[in-house]
Amino acid sequence: MTTLTLPAAKDVRDMLAGLLGKPVAVLPGDPVTPSGERPASVAVYVDPQMNVSALCVMDLGLSAYTGGALALLPPGGVQDAVEEDGELTTMLTEALHEVVNVLSALFNVPGAPHSKLYKLYAPGEDLPGDLAEMVAAFNRIDLAVEVPGYGKGALSLVVPGGPHTA
């Protein structure tokens, strides 16, 4: 099986800025690992044979901020969902689904198998054990992302395979 290469931070920034219509800031960051104390969304991408080809892991904040910015929701309400409720509304989850669907394009580069969004686990949803193990994989890029007007969050892109090369 051909493994995917990780996108560059600039590619992630350009994709999010184009999607959200805002000058998103993207810098190296810490790994995102879903836990009870730090809920995170996990988007699962698959290749044509339905093998998991990549994961996109976003902390609760970035999950809400990207979804809120895409849906043009008022920043205050989106921030309340994060800080007070600790979970995404149905509308934020639906908007996040669209964000991670568009992000699949980051993995669809010449020579790589086509990847498509298979499933989105919203922050707080239980992950199957094999996906939870894959989130801890070494082949990843970890980013800190700021969505202007909304806030800062964290994003990790993970592909199966060998050591982290980006």
Q: Could you tell me the CATH number of the domain that includes residue 17?
A: 3.40.1550.10
**Can you give the pTM of this predicted structure?**
0.93
Domain membership of residue 3 (yes or no) is no
8-45 pLDDT, tens digit per residue, is 999 999 999 999 999 999 999 999 999 988 999 999 99
Domain membership of residue 81 (yes or no) is yes
SS3 6: coil
Its sign, for the CA torsion 112, 3, 65, 131, is positive
Domain membership of residue 164 (yes or no) is no
Range of the domain at 137: 9-158
Domain count, the chain: 1
pLDDT confidence bin for 5, thresholds 50/70/90: confident
Domain membership of residue 4 (yes or no) is no
Domain membership of residue 146 (yes or no) is yes
Q: Compute the distance between CA of residue 75 and CA of residue 111 in angstroms, rounded to an integer.
A: 39
Output DSSP code: residue 161: S
